[in-house]
Amino acid sequence: MCVPYFIGKVVDVVFNKNSLDSAAMNKLREYSVMLFWIFALGGFANFARVYLFGSASLRIVRRLRSNLYRSMLLQEVGWYDSRGTGELVNRLSNDTYLVGISLSQNVSDGMRSIAMITVGSAMMIFTSPKLALVSAMVVPALATMAIVYGRYVRRITRVELDKYADIMKYAEERFGNVRTVKLFCREQKEVEDFNQKLNEALEIGYKETRARSIFFGLTGFSGNFIIISVLYYGGTLVLGDELTIGAMTSFLMYAGYVAVSMNGLSNFYSQMNKGIGASERIWEIFDRKYQIPIDLGHIPTNKVIGEVRFENVDFSYPSRPDTKVLTDFSLTLPAHKTTAIVGRSGSGKSTIALLLMRLYDPMMGAVYLDGVDVRTLNPQWLRRNVGAVSQEPVLFSGSIRSNILYGLDPGEAGNEQLLQQVVRDSNVIEFTQNLPDGLETIVGQRGMLLSGGQKQRVAIARALIKNPSILLLDEATSALDSVSEQLVQVALDKLIEGRTVLTIAHRLSTIHGADNIAVLDSGRVIEQGNYDTLMANPDGAFRELVSMQAFASGLPPARLGEYADAESEGERTPTRQPPTPPPGPPRR
């Protein structure tokens, strides 16, 4: 900010006709050398400012993303039910970037603008108080515009970020289900729908752009108005010998610096309000209290026996609070026994497993493990003692080895001997020995490079290496062909040994050998017993379900026993063909 002052001095030396030539040259040389060092110091200061604040920006964004990722992962599962993956990823990437830039590089530019305005204004007053008073006329109007514009930008930024989060969620969902999109030939329609969402976001962007252009247009005009006023009024002062040409030159340069800095300050204010809008979406997650904290609760020292009891449980999902899934549900899972849950679709079978793992808490009633309410237990300790294999297992992009070792506790060293034993017991070795990279084979996103049976066996190996006391099977073989089913079933038999097992069943082959079968309807247990006992009741709900499954397989009700025996041996239909149905109307 010393540059305009010394340039003014140089101008006065040049235009001062009364100065001796040698004295003028000495002064000119002195001022030029001082300007050189000022420029050099300014260049170094700019380097330091950009480097330090740029580095700070990177560290702030990194820390924000780390803390936000942690806060997201520590939320209970119910929190995710009403939020798409795309929305969360958008907050983790775009919102944190905006906040980081606002708190670092933008602050750097803002501080620079404030310093230049402050020092420039002081030097304008020092150079010519009269001209400074003329220049100050536009300040109140600019301050009012800045306040109004800042509030508007903060509000419109929040709306814009929400819209782009919705777009990210939409795109992520379509990419994740691209096979379905192509199967139904919806590519063109999906592009049109995506463009429509982009157009909606574009309209919001237009509103912010119009406001910004008006604001910056007015601030730019105000700066130019100051310069015009200074030229006119300053010219009259020079003509009246109240101001030297050098002083007016210095004043004009200071006025230019202030005008440019006011524009920079306006941009700083705009970006800061954008950052505030983004930070509201981030701190909304930071400030949320975890419903199921993973670091609280009792950790038992005694060995888990494995008896589970559901007692008068009522439950609704947080995303659908008005729809009850379980009503006064009670059931006991005896230790080291297999209990099968059957029922129509939507009767609440899978919900039971989620409550046992304490991914959700019941609204009423309680779930007990060895007589202890699971809500008093440490959630991580509980989940380490519960293994799960679902109908559609989820694998992470990485190697087969890394997916199996995911079942071990974090920080626990992978025992190669244990890993090889698990690979053999789960029949993973049956297909990995034919792969060039063996256990190092990459499985792709969600395991898409493996077949259904291969993914299932990797999931079983992951559960097996965990060595859980309780095992949850959500129809782990229903989507497999007969060959894959046999291989997976052998692996499951190894996994089941000596454990409390809850199997959610849809096919007779998975429930025929269960120690206990519970029939669910509308969130309640309406019938319970072993297979033979339930089949002996001709009017029972279980027998009705078996009849419906047999009918779907083309088997007359009179041969239910034969169907059940065939299913228990892994066959889908009896060896003899069902009777030919009577002729009916031709199919169209």
Which pLDDT tens digit goes with each residue over 316-352? 998 888 888 999 999 999 999 999 998 887 788 889 9
pLDDT band at 360 (very low <50, low <70, confident <90, very high): very high
pLDDT band at 568 (very low <50, low <70, confident <90, very high): very low
pLDDT band at 356 (very low <50, low <70, confident <90, very high): very high
Pick the CATH number of 386-467 from 3.40.50.300, 3.90.1170.50, 3.90.79.10, 3.30.870.10: 3.40.50.300
* pLDDT score at 378: 92
Indicate whether 32 pLDDT > 50: yes
* pLDDT score at 569: 45
- What mean pLDDT do residues 381-389 have? 90
Q: What is the CATH code for 3-286? A: 1.20.1560.10
* pLDDT score at 406: 87
Pick from 263, 274, 288, 269: nearest CA to 100: 274
- At CA 504, angle to CA 565 and CA 291, rounded to 5? 175
* pLDDT score at 551: 43
Indicate whether 410 pLDDT > 80: no
Q: Which residues contact 482 (CB under 8 A, 6 or more apart)?
A: 570, 572
Query: Nearest 5°: phi and psi at 293?
Result: -65, 135
DSSP assignment of 442-498: B--GGGTTS-HHHHHHHHHHHHHHH--SEEEEESTTTTS-HHHHHHHHHHHHHHHTT
* pLDDT score at 562: 47
- Rounded to 10 degrees, the C-alpha dihedral 142/147/148/153 comes to 120
Which residue ranges make up each domain of the chain? 3-286, 386-467
pLDDT band at 572 (very low <50, low <70, confident <90, very high): very low
More confident residue, 101 or 6: 101
pLDDT band at 309 (very low <50, low <70, confident <90, very high): very high
Query: What whole-number distance in Å separates Cα of residue 299 and Cα of residue 361?
Result: 18
Cβ-contact 124, 255 below 8 angstroms? yes
- What mean pLDDT do residues 77-98 have? 83
* pLDDT score at 81: 83
* pLDDT score at 394: 83
Pick from 340, 346, 378: nearest CA to 505: 340
Query: Nearest 5°: phi and psi at 538?
Result: -65, -25
* pLDDT score at 483: 66
pLDDT band at 106 (very low <50, low <70, confident <90, very high): confident
Query: What whole-number distance in Å separates Cα of residue 582 and Cα of residue 568?
Result: 30
pLDDT digits (tens, 9 = 90+) for 205-261: 888 888 888 887 887 787 777 778 878 888 888 788 787 877 778 887 787 777 777
* pLDDT score at 89: 86
What would you measure as the largest C-alpha separation in the chain, in angstroms? Answer: 127
- What mean pLDDT do residues 381-388 have? 90
More confident residue, 350 or 147: 350
* pLDDT score at 584: 42
Pick from 449, 409, 450, 398: nearest CA to 428: 450
User: For the whole model, what pTM was predicted?
Assistant: 0.73
Sign of CA dihedral 525, 526, 532, 535: negative
* pLDDT score at 586: 42
Cβ-contact 157, 207 below 8 angstroms? no
Cβ-contact 338, 514 below 8 angstroms? yes
Query: Nearest 5°: phi and psi at 331?
Result: -165, 145
pLDDT band at 307 (very low <50, low <70, confident <90, very high): very high
Average pLDDT of the chain, as a whole number = 80
Indicate whether 61 pLDDT > 90: no
* pLDDT score at 376: 93
Cβ-contact 153, 214 below 8 angstroms? no
For the beta sheet containing 324-333, the strands, ordered from the edge strand earlier in sequence to the opposite edge, are 324-333, 308-316, 364-369, 372-373
Least confident of 15-24, 417-426, 481-490: 15-24
Least confident of 121-125, 440-444, 521-525: 121-125
* pLDDT score at 314: 94
pLDDT digits (tens, 9 = 90+) for 467-506: 889 999 887 665 556 666 677 777 777 778 888 999 987 6
Least confident of 267-276, 305-314, 386-395: 267-276
Cβ-contact 250, 127 below 8 angstroms? yes
- What mean pLDDT do residues 81-108 have? 82
Indicate the DSSP class of residue 138.
G
* pLDDT score at 352: 92
Indicate whether 143 pLDDT > 80: no
Any alpha helices (H) in 342-415, and if so which ranges?
349-356, 379-384, 400-405
Least confident of 375-389, 448-462, 546-560: 546-560
Indicate whether 275 pLDDT > 90: no
* pLDDT score at 374: 93
